[in-house]
Amino acid sequence: MNRSTATLFLLALAFLICEGGNPCCSEPCQNRGICTALGSDGYECDCTRTGYYGQNCTTPEFLTWIKVSLKPTPSTVHYLLTHFKGFWNIINSISFLRDAIMRYVLISRSHLIDSPPTFNADYGYKSWEAYSNLSYYTRALPPVPQDCPTPMGVVGKKELPDPKVLAEKLLMRRKFIPDPQGTSLMFAFFAQHFTHQFFKTDFKKGPAFTQAKGHGVDLSHIYGDDLERQHKLRLFKDGKLRYQIRDGEVYPPTVKDVDIEMHYPPHVPESHRFAVGHEAFGLVPGLMMYATIWLREHNRVCDVLKEVHPDWDDERLFQTTRLILIGETIKIVIEDYVQHLSGYHFKLKFDPELLFNQKFQYQNRIASEFNTLYHWHPLMPDSFRIEETDYSYKQFVFNTSVVTEHGINNLVESFTKQIAGRVAGGRNVPGAIVYVSIKSIEHSREMRYQSLNAYRKRFSMKPYSSFEDLTGEKEMAAILEELYGHVDAVELYPGLLVEKPRTNGIFGETMVEMGAPFSLKGLMGNPICSPEYWKPSTFGGSVGFDIVNTASLQKLVCNNVQGPCPVASFHVPDINDTGSTVINSSTSQSQRGDINPTVILKERTEL
């Protein structure tokens, strides 16, 4: 029995099981067809513009058949892009070829994201509320209907496994597994810092809601997410942000000085309660390091603009500098951050003009699934090595004195040298923060996410046929089978973390193929990338435009530290040189009692 025949058989069987209930629970509509129940004993599949037709949208149109027949699998594309370095060096040196490939990457990825948005946690069908209510995260797939036979629709067990059992058996670290791609802690903390301008779940309302005012790169984590907070952080002179000088260097002001809310426990002294755009960034020194660097960069760019435009007032200097920093951020994310995690030999390029003649919408909504898949807690080591000091979680959390005692130079150098953990493959979440993974599972269930395989189909990947196909080994596969009963019942978040990693990769296939479309659509859908904004005048002329177009992580650091500039990289300089690479190999169990989860639960749930 081939795969398509087996799929139709299962659909028919599932429909029989569902008889008398919601027939859409069996996900009868394939290839992004939309199911509408017709009472309790019938359904209709809307195949409009899917490229398929038939009762279940399974018969391809002729052009679709050709396209699908010729299209390489994601694993084939990944193999080609991560091998044949000499070939890609030639491609990278030929501008029109590099531009053509980059344009294809942007379009093919971005078109997988619905724009305008379609669903949210409370509306599994198109509605004005799902479109217009910005307090919701949007959804890539509608929630599993509440009247289904099982939590995942019609397959799997009647009850999902205990989240604590799941975490302890499959997610919690036994021994630190370093990332084979050589990812550094500079990457890990950048991921935390960057994403929390748009991942700000409002847990008072529930995990389906966001507190973020914007749904993209707006640098609210630097400037605050409302005007009142922004104004308290501003100096109102020469466009600059408020700051303090310690040991001759610029650091954020204190909470006492600016009177804004920050999340610090009582034991943190007032002198170390730094105030920045995001209220939770006092949590770990890595976040405050980046907050300090961007504060310095903002004020530096203000000085550059002031010299070119001495007649500009404070407001124009501030607003233009913010646009420049947004541009710098997107440039660094695409050409340094995404470049590293992709592992591609093809050099990614930030050039908004590549899309100017394409059908592309300059708007974005953050999806809750994007928020969930970004819970990369396995990146964190068991302890943090800065210069000659090892900090446990208890010593590291809410300890901003680490930033001033070591200085930005030493933090950058130390975090560049220390390797992060592998995300995929299971059993690599530090014991000290495994409860955050448990909360992630619980929140996913509140939002009734569809299965990992459902999301694989949604993002043009072949669903896993067995538990061993998913994990690439036997032991965890057997545990998954015992807990879930059927591979189509494996939940999204646990599935992403136990999925077999790509060869020498930090992630599995699903994480990359799902995450990349959300990421690139959010970055290129930013207003500054539109034809009306992407011109020198938006950024204060050629000087400001040049700052954006030449931005890099290394340049950002070098422009904002005193003395010799340390190497700043998302990749450990030499993973084979243990003299310059910190690999933490202690067991996580020794760290489990280091911190009180109730103190930092709110901050860590998303970080």
Count of beta carbons in the 10 Å neighbourhood of residue 60 = 18
CB hemisphere CA count around 345 (13 angstroms) = 16
Would you say the C-alpha torsion 88, 89, 92, 93 has a positive or negative sign?
A: negative
Exposed e or buried b per residue across 576-586, where buried means at least 16 C-beta atoms within 10 angstroms of its C-beta: eeeeebbebee
193 catalytically annotated:
no
Exposed e or buried b per residue across 106-142, where buried means at least 16 C-beta atoms within 10 angstroms of its C-beta: bbebbebbbbebbbbbbbbeeeeebbeeeebbbbbbb
263 catalytically annotated:
no
Q: Which helix or strand (DSSP H or E) is residue 590 part of?
A: none
**Candidates 196, 278, 298, 486; catalytic one:** 196
Which residues are 53's β-sheet partners? 59
CA distance 162 to 373: 20
CA distance 314 to 306: 9
Cα-flanking dihedrals φ and ψ of residue 277, to 5°?
A: -65, -40
CA distance 291 to 297: 10
Write out the E strands in 55-214: 59-60
Cα-flanking dihedrals φ and ψ of residue 150, to 5°?
A: -130, 160
**Candidates 123, 337, 374, 455; catalytic one:** 374
Active site residues: 196, 374
